[in-house]
Amino acid sequence: MDTFSVKKVLNNNVLIAVDIKGQEVVLIGKGIGFNTKKNDPIAKETVEKLFALHDEKEQENYKKLLQEIDEETLNAIVSSIEIIKKRSKSMLNENVHVALTDHIVFAITRLLKGMAIRNPFLLETKALYPGEYEIASEVVDYINHALDIQLPEGEIGFIALHVHSANTDTTISEINKYSQLVTKLIGVIEDQFHIVIDRESINYIRLVRHLRYTVERVLNEEKLEEPKKIAELLKKEYPSCYNLSWKLVKIMQQTLKKQVYDAEAVYLTMHLQRLSEKVDTY
């Protein structure tokens, strides 16, 4: 049975250990350091429920972060990551420990200084990543109760992006780039149709999700079958929607630097036509 050997206990939830190859790792998990002392063995199967930071840079960043955090806050963050792991039902990218710890500490610091930051993409994030948003909402609620603070609602959106990042192995900057692309596309649709889509409406949620899945297919280079007869019909019957869909496709191609297949324009035209019938113009 492979084991880790404890090198130093940092607190009840974090310890530094050495693996069987003699490499230093940071083990993180609720209660992992409780009643543990130097040279104690930690069974590898126990660590599967926790996290071992193997990346040296991430380790160093995390150790530096630990020096700035009181144990109560760290306990709340470790428990929050346990909530994310449990709700996600998947192995999280280990970077989430550093990224999320850093973000939550910064958010709490801003809050205590009266400098809470507004999240302009809250509703987009909620529509784009509903599952992650739900988990993040639970995390924010837990932190607020555990630390007796009141993080603003916008933090749910920020933390939802970290949850998505941890589950998909995508960087926050990439996620932001794609979220901003969806927001830009919606702006173009509103301008073209002379409409303002209610951000709380089912029409908005459907549109955001359709655009999100289109972007994901383009990124993954997935090709949809093009219904040629429908394409000709749509082009003839709904020229404004058809032309707009191609305008959106070109924006996607420029931003993502990838080919967007013709079928995407067809399905987008159908979606735009349905939207135009349900939303009032101004």
Give me the residue spans of the domains in the chain.
Answer: 1-54, 55-170, 174-278
State how far the Cα of 66 lies from the Cα of 61, in Å rounded to an integer: 9
Q: Which CATH superfamily is domain 174-278 in?
A: PRD domain (1.10.1790.10)
Q: What does each C-alpha distance from 244 to 31, 197, 213, 220 come to in angstroms?
A: 56, 16, 18, 23
User: pLDDT per residue over 146-192, tens digit each?
Assistant: 999 999 999 999 999 999 998 888 888 899 899 999 999 999 999 99
| Residue 226 CB neighbour total at 10 angstroms | 14
CATH top class, domain 55-170:
mainly alpha
Question: Which pLDDT tens digits describe the chain residue by residue (282 residues)?
Answer: 568 999 999 888 899 999 888 889 999 888 888 899 999 998 887 776 678 898 888 899 998 998 889 999 999 999 999 999 999 877 778 888 899 999 999 999 999 998 878 888 898 899 999 999 999 999 999 999 999 999 999 999 999 999 999 888 888 889 989 999 999 999 999 999 999 999 888 989 999 999 999 998 999 888 887 667 788 888 899 999 999 999 999 999 999 999 998 889 999 999 999 998 877 666
The candidate with the shortest Cα–Cα distance to 211, out of 187, 191, 239, is 187
The pair phi, psi for residue 232, each rounded to 5°, is -65, -40
45 phi/psi in degrees, rounded to 5: -65, -25
Measured CA to CA, the distance from residue 213 to residue 232 in angstroms comes to 24
Dihedral (CA of 216, 218, 220, 222) sign: positive
Q: Are 149 and 108 in contact (CB under 8 A)?
A: yes
Would you tell me which CATH number, out of the four given (2.30.24.10, 2.40.160.10, 3.30.70.660, 3.40.50.360), belongs to the domain 1-54? Answer: 2.30.24.10
Q: In Å, what is the CA distance from 194 to each residue of 42, 244, 246?
A: 63, 13, 18
Tell me, what's the pLDDT at 108? 93
CA distances from 16 to 2, 29, 38 (A): 16, 12, 9
pLDDT score for 228: 73
**According to the model, what pLDDT value does residue 48 have?**
67
Distance of CA 98 to the CA centre of its chain: 15
Q: What is the pLDDT of residue 278?
A: 77
Helix (H/G/I), strand (E/B), else coil: 78: helix
Paired with 6 in beta bridges are 17
Q: Which two tokens stand for residue 21?
A: 């190859």
Which residue has tokens 């032309």? 243
Question: CA 80, CA 248: separation in Å to the nearest integer?
Answer: 38
Among 96, 116, 8, 99, residue whose Cα is nearest residue 50: 96
* 14 and 2 Cβ atoms separated by less than 8 Å: no
- Displacement of CA 202 from its chain's centroid (Å): 22
Q: What is the pLDDT of residue 120?
A: 84
Look-up of token digits 């899945």:
213
* CA atoms of 84 and 154, how far apart (whole Å): 18
Beta bridge partners of 11: 14
pLDDT confidence of residue 212 = 92
Q: Is 174-278 the same fold as 55-170? A: yes
